[in-house]
């Protein structure tokens, strides 16, 4: 190689290497925009030993609420725990009560709160490298992947420890069955993989004024839901019959479709891991129904609608009805941001005439890793955070509306605060909820399944072709 | 035991040896801090990326890692959709680069031909504004403006023209991505070409005019050849930047519908953050890195930096 060539090569290599690496690092900046919220590292005030509500020196919840428990709360006095969490309403709802835990146990709490994608990266690195920085961390649909890799610790030994857990006081049966089931890896685990902290369940929201105007009854069946959409779509000039999540990704189109396919009698994985069930009649019928509903009575470009598009379209009064999460959408649709706040009604999601009512739901849970330095302290925090006194306080005194405890949804003060109808519809939906079972490769095949559904909604292929392809992909992922 | 001879010089002191070492390698000592920085910010991450692409799962103890050879690469190019995302990326890069180069040059030529200095100033500011918009903001604005229900662009097309607006994000997503990128980055080409045009000696243009050359000949035979280094540098910078495109496309389409606009950068992101396949993401990133380096080498070898850096 001549000097000239070498110099040229070095220049090009330098330019290319820099640009390539810059490209890699830039890959993550589009999702959540901002970096840490500044609360990383526990500098948010809740990591000290100050055990007060902050204003008048009194604890948010009296310690006597916890003294009936046959638990040795103070056995780890003087230690501290690190909590890894996403920016989420649960964090802001529980933080004012954390001094109660610190006073009760003598354990300091250090928060590491990050935007969701940043948190996922940090969590993955923490558990896979064995660093064990987090004693407690948020856990979601990757639960079985983490469990099978041995990255999270089963909680059952802690439940069996009399100094850490009092079943009579904690009342685990007060947790919704759907929440307990998802905390057991969605049926894939015999042991507790974490403690559920929030639950979201799907409900139906509709425009009461438009329903009155067109003399429509709230839909109980899928056919009625479609007829209502048609009536509004064809008789209102600026309003579409319905709007739904069409974009790809978990929490988008498949999160809604999974409700309808289960109500159609189908399941994800007829026989795990050989038969995904995605090409079964129940799934194909549900997909055809959802795709044609959005294509016929939804907005143009339905395949690119995210949950926030659905929310804003409904808030602006441009849709007749939707199916979405009660807890997430109710405040947005009935708050000051909504131009139709006074006319929003809530009802249970429709189901097939001969099907079973079983709306989809999603639980966030908190888990502890096998490398955590303070797993027992972490477990005490989980018990305290998901206990009845803490949950009730967050929902009665705070503005939370995502409790995993049935008693909270039956609490008169809470029902009075959030509205009787909202509370009752949500409670009944939670009692019948059927969350998604997150097998260990769900993040991978679920993404591909949602891409295929998006193609069908965009009209690029039929729903049957899309689901058949999705079935093939899911089974192929497990066969390799 | 050896006996010292007359020709043997006295041994040097440690200080003298260090001084010689310093003087002999003086240029290298001066370069050392920068080389170390370069190694830390480029070669180390690159090497770590390569390491990740060859193991089963990341581990804190690198010696305990389970090496799996090229399995992650195989996964990336079979069910990982790497080939598809490379095709999409090349389509976007080539189309957007051509569009931005041509539009940027035409705009620069038009503005350079404007007589009034005040008008020139106005156009310069006007054409540069889109470049100042952040990618995520642009994607958000784009989603709203292109929304078939509430967007201004479909509204104008439907009401002000005899045409029916397509569903930009679902019917023609790739074209929409290319056009939005062109809207965002043509100003970059415009500003460089405008500066290049301003540097062409007036005497050259006057001479060609006296020789009777029409305007197009003046551009083809005088102005553009003179501006070749400027055009080369501008397109090279833009080319590299286009390979890094992520935020605006992810914010606009999320790589969809399906995988219709799934650039390599989006594929890497999804493998990493959606699928939790860190090692597969690393494998795609390694291949991408090699291809970008190779492409830069080919371009520079074929076109060269003559008149630019040498």
CA-CA distances (angstroms) from residue A44 to A37, A47, A60, B64?
A: 10, 7, 17, 37
| Count, residues in chain B | 310
B271 within some domain: no
Does residue B88 lie in a domain region? yes
B118 and B234 share one domain: yes
**B129: Cβ contacts below 8 Å, ≥ 6 apart:** B187
Give the CATH number for residue B211. Answer: 1.10.3720.10
Query: Coil, strand or helix: which one is B260?
Result: coil
The structural domain count of chain B equals: 2
Q: Closest Cα partner for B222 from B236, B234, B209?
A: B209
- One domain for residues B115 and B150: yes
Domain that holds residue B61: 14-71
Buried b (16+ CB within 10 A) or exposed e, A44-62: bebbeeebeeeeeeebbbe
- Residue B215 in any domain: the answer is yes
Distance (Å) of CA A186 to CA A150, A191, A364, A439, B132: 17, 11, 12, 8, 47
Using CB atoms within 10 Å of the CB of residue A89, give its burial: 0 to 12 exposed, 13 to 18 middle, 19+ buried.
Answer: middle
Which residues make Cβ contacts (< 8 Å) with residue B195, sequence separation at least 6? B230
Q: Choose one of B26, B51, B71: the last residue of a domain.
A: B71
Q: Do B122 and B249 sit in the same domain of this protein?
A: yes
Q: How far apart are CA B166 and CA B168, in angstroms?
A: 5
d(CA A39, CA A20): 32
Q: Given CB atoms, is B256 within the 8 Å cutoff of chain A?
A: yes
Q: Does B147 touch chain A (CB under 8 A)?
A: yes
pTM of the model: 0.80
| Residue B93 distance to chain A (closest CA, Å) | 14
Task: Tell me the average pLDDT of chain B.
Answer: 89
Which residues on neighbouring strands pair with residue A437, listed in sequence order?
none
**pLDDT tens, position by position, A161-218:** 999 999 999 999 999 999 999 999 999 999 999 999 999 999 999 999 999 999 999 9
Do residues B64 and B122 share a domain? no
Tokens 């949602």 belong to A450
A24 at interface of B, judged by CB pairs closer than 8 A? yes
Give A324's strand partners. Answer: A203
Interface of A with B in 191-250 (CB under 8 A): 240, 247-250
Listed in order, strand segments (DSSP E) in A131-278 are 136-139, 195-207, 240-242
Cβ-count burial A190-218 (b if 16+ within 10 Å, e if not): eebbbbbbbbbbbbbbbbeebbeeeebeb
Q: Please tell me whether residues B134 and B31 are part of one structural domain.
A: no
User: What does the DSSP assignment read for A380-412?
Assistant: HHHHHHTSHHHHHHHHHTS-----SBHHHHT-H
Tokens of A475: 């089974």
Nearest by Cα to A346 from A414, A434, A425: A425
Tell me: do B22 and B161 sit in the same domain.
no
A26: exposed, middle or buried (Cβ count in 10 Å: 0-12, 13-18, 19+): middle
Place B273 in a pLDDT band, splitting at 50, 70 and 90: confident
Average pLDDT over residues B225-234: 90
Classify residue B206: in a domain, yes or no.
yes
Looking at residue A2, what is its pLDDT?
Answer: 46
- Residue B116 shares a structural domain with residue B32: no
pLDDT in tens, B283-305: 999 999 999 989 988 888 877 66
Q: A128 at the B interface (CB within 8 A)?
A: yes
Strands A195-207 and A361-367, bridge-based pairing? antiparallel
User: Is B29 contained in some domain?
Assistant: yes
Looking at the structure, do residues B139 and B42 belong to the same domain, yes or no? no
Name the maximum alpha-carbon separation found in chain B.
106
Give the span between the Cα atoms of B183 and B248, in whole angstroms.
12
pLDDT score at B11:
76
Q: Are residues B139 and B57 in the same domain?
A: no
Q: Are residues B62 and B171 in the same domain?
A: no
Selected residue of B170, B241, B243 to mutate for chain A interface (largest A Cβ count, 10 A): B170
pLDDT range class, residue B275, cuts 50, 70, 90: confident
Rounded distance, CA A393 to CA A373, Å?
Answer: 30
Residue B2 within a domain: no
Residue A389 has a CB neighbour count (10 Å cut-off) of: 19
pLDDT tens for the 480 residues of chain A, in order: 444 454 544 444 444 443 443 333 323 333 333 333 333 333 343 333 333 444 446 899 999 999 999 999 999 999 999 999 999 999 999 999 999 999 999 999 999 999 887 898 889 888 877 888 999 999 999 999 999 988 999 999 999 999 999 999 999 999 999 999 999 999 999 999 999 999 999 999 999 999 999 999 999 999 999 999 999 999 998 899 999 999 998 889 999 999 999 999 999 999 999 999 999 999 999 999 999 999 999 998 899 898 988 998 999 999 999 998 888 888 899 989 899 999 999 999 999 999 899 999 999 999 999 999 999 999 999 999 999 999 999 999 998 999 999 999 999 999 999 999 999 999 999 999 999 999 999 989 999 999 999 999 999 999 999 999 999 999 999 987
Nearest to A117 by CA among B270, B222, B99, B6: B270
Asked if A478 is an interface residue toward chain B (Cβ–Cβ < 8 A), one would say: no
| A404's tokens | 């995993």
Q: What distance in Å separates the CA atoms of residue A350 and residue A204, rounded to the nearest whole number?
A: 8
Answer whether A252's CB lies under 8 Å from A259's CB. no
Which residues lie closer than 8 Å to A87 by C-beta, 6 or more apart?
A: A37, A113, A114, A115, A116
Based on the fold, state whether residues B21 and B66 are members of the same structural domain. yes
Domains (ranges, CATH) in chain A?
64-200+362-428 (3.40.190.10), 201-361+436-479 (3.40.190.10)
B32: Cβ contacts below 8 Å, ≥ 6 apart: none
- Do B57 and B105 belong to one domain? no
Subunit contact B60:A304, Cβ cutoff 8 A: no
What DSSP character marks residue A203? E
Looking from the CA of A235 toward its CB, the CA atoms found within 13 Å total 13
Q: What is the dihedral of CA A180, A184, A185, A187, to 10 degrees?
A: -90
A443 touches chain B (CB under 8 A): yes
Instruction: Choose among A230, A352, A222, A321: nearest CA to A329.
Output: A321
Q: A150 touching B, CB under 8 A?
A: no
Is B286 inside any structural domain? no
Residue corresponding to tokens 């392809």? A469
Q: Which of B149, B171, B292 sits opposite A313 (nearest CB)?
A: B149
Of B66, B33, B29, the residue nearest B51 (C-alpha) = B66
pLDDT tens-place string over residues B166-223: 989 888 999 999 999 999 999 999 999 999 999 899 898 889 889 888 888 999 999 9
Per the domain annotation, does B228 fall within a domain? yes
Instruction: Give the whole-angstrom CA distance, residue A461 versus residue A469.
Output: 10
In chain A, residues 35-64 whose CB comes closer than 8 Å to chain B: none
Among A109, A135, A93, A133, CA closest to A46: A109
Question: b/e string for B7-34 if b means 16 or more Cβ within 10 A?
Answer: eeeeeeeeeeeeeeeeeeeeeeeeeeee
- Which of B44, B71, B98 is the last residue in one of the domains? B71
């Amino acid at each position: 190689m001549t000097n000239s060539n070498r110099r040229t090569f070095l220049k090009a290599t330098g330019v290319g290497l820099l640009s390539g690496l810059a490209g890699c690092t830039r890959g993550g900046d589009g999702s959540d925009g901002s970096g840490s919220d500044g609360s990383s590292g526990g500098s948010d005030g809740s990591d000290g030993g100050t055990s007060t509500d902050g204003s008048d020196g009194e604890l948010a919840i009296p310690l006597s609420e916890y003294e009936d428990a046959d638990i040795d709360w103070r056995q780890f006095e003087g230690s501290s725990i690190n909590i890894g969490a996403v920016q989420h309403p649960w964090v802001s709802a529980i933080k004012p009560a954390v001094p109660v835990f610190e006073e009760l146990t003598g354990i300091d709490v250090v928060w590491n709160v990050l935007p969701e994608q940043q948190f996922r990266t940090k969590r993955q690195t923490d558990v896979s490298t064995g660093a064990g920085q987090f004693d407690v961390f948020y856990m979601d649909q990757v639960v079985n992947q983490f469990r099978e890799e041995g990255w999270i610790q089963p909680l059952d030994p802690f439940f069996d420890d009399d100094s850490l857990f009092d079943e009579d006081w904690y009342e685990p049966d007060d947790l919704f069955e759907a929440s307990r089931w998802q905390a057991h890896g969605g049926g894939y685990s015999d042991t507790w993989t974490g403690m559920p902290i929030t639950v979201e369940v799907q409900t139906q929201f509709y425009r009461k004024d438009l329903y009155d105007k067109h003399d429509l009854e709230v839909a109980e069946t899928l056919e009625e839901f479609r007829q209502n959409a048609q009536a509004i779509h064809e008789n209102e000039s600026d309003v579409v019959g319905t709007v739904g999540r069409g974009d790809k990704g978990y929490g988008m189109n498949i999160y809604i479709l999974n409700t309808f396919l289960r109500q159609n009698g189908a399941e994800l994985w007829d026989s795990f891991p050989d038969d995904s069930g995605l090409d079964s009649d129940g799934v194909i019928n549900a997909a055809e129904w959802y795709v044609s509903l959005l294509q016929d009575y939804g907005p143009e470009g339905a395949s690119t609608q995210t949950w926030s598009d659905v929310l804003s379209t409904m808030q602006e009064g441009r849709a007749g009805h939707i199916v979405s999460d009660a807890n997430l959408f109710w405040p947005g649709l009935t708050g000051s941001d909504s131009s139709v706040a006074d006319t929003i009604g809530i009802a249970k999601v429709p189901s097939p005439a001969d099907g079973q009512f079983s709306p989809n739901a999603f639980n966030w849970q908190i888990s502890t890793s096998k490398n955590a330095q303070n797993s027992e302290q972490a477990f005490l925090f989980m018990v305290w955070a998901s206990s009845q006194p803490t949950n009730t306080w967050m929902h009665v005194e705070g503005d939370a509306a995502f409790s995993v405890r049935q008693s909270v949804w039956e609490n008169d003060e809470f029902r009075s605060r959030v509205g009787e109808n909202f509370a009752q519809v949500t409670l009944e939906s939670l009692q019948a909820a059927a969350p998604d079972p997150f097998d260990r490769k769900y993040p991978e095949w679920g993404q591909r399944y949602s891409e295929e559904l998006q193609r069908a909604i965009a009209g690029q292929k039929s729903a049957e072709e899309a689901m058949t392809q999705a079935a093939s992909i899911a089974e192929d992922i497990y066969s390799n | 035991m050896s006996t010292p001879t007359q020709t043997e010089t006295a041994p040097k002191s440690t200080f003298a040896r260090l001084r010689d070492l310093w003087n002999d390698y003086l240029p290298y000592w001066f370069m050392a801090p920068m080389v170390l920085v370069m190694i830390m910010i480029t070669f180390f991450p690159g090497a770590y990326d390569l390491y990740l692409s060859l193991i089963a799962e990341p581990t804190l103890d690198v010696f305990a890692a389970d090496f799996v050879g090229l399995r992650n690469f195989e996964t990336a190019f079979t069910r990982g959709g790497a080939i598809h995302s490379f095709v999409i990326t090349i389509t976007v890069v080539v189309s957007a680069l051509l569009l931005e180069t041509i539009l940027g040059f035409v705009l620069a030529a038009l503005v350079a031909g404007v007589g009034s200095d005040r008008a020139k100033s106005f156009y310069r500011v006007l054409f540069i504004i889109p470049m100042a918009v952040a990618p995520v903001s642009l994607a958000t604005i784009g989603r709203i403006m292109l929304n078939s229900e509430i967007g201004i662009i479909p509204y104008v097309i439907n009401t002000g023209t005899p045409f029916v607006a397509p569903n930009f994000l679902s019917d023609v997503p790739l074209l929409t991505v290319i056009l939005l990128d062109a809207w965002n980055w043509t100003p970059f080409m415009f500003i460089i070409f405008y500066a290049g045009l301003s540097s062409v000696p007036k005497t050259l243009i006057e001479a060609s005019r006296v020789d009777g050359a029409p305007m197009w000949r003046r551009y083809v035979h005088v102005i553009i050849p003179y501006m070749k280094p400027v055009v080369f540098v501008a397109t090279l910078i833009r080319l590299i930047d286009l390979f890094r495109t992520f935020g605006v496309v992810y914010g606009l389409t999320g790589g969809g519908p399906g995988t219709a606009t799934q650039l390599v950068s989006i594929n890497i992101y999804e493998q990493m953050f959606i699928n939790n396949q860190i090692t597969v993401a690393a494998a795609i990133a390694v291949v991408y890195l090699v291809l970008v380096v190779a492409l830069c080498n080919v371009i520079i070898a074929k076109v060269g930096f003559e008149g630019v850096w040498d």
